[in-house]
Amino acid sequence: MNKKRVFVAFAIEDKTSKIFFTGMAKNARVPYEFVDMSVKEPWSSQWKTKCRTKIKGCHGMIVLVSKNLKNADGALWEVQCAKDEGVRVRGIYIDGATSVNKPTELHGILCESWTWDNVRSFIESL
């Protein structure tokens, strides 16, 4: 069985939470892998081109919804890119975030609490 590829969009301030979140993919029994395009420098049109290619090559996208996400221009661009490319998106609330922290780019996108059942259910539906 081929692993499903899932792009993870997140605010750079939430890098530690992203590391914990993606750490589960290192378990050989997990039939999926996580991909991201995190950058520490301002993103360029070249980054956007490479990122779009990575997003298009994924089965779906998980957005880590935090209190920082509304100000994360790169992550919000990734969300819009996934929507433009027809890649399915699911939001996962982290670090105490709730629906009040959900940016407008996620309007119409289901966001759920961070449980492995919610993550697995979304990935298995891809």
> What six digits make up the tokens of 82?
């996934």
- Reported as a single tens digit per residue, the pLDDT across 66-96 is 999 999 999 999 999 999 999 999 999 999 9
Which residue ranges form the domains of the chain, and what is each CATH number?
4-125 (3.40.50.450)
Asked whether the beta carbons of 110 and 61 are under 8 A apart, the reply is no
- Reported as a single tens digit per residue, the pLDDT across 105-120 is 999 999 999 988 899 8
Strand-pairing partners, residue 5, are 33
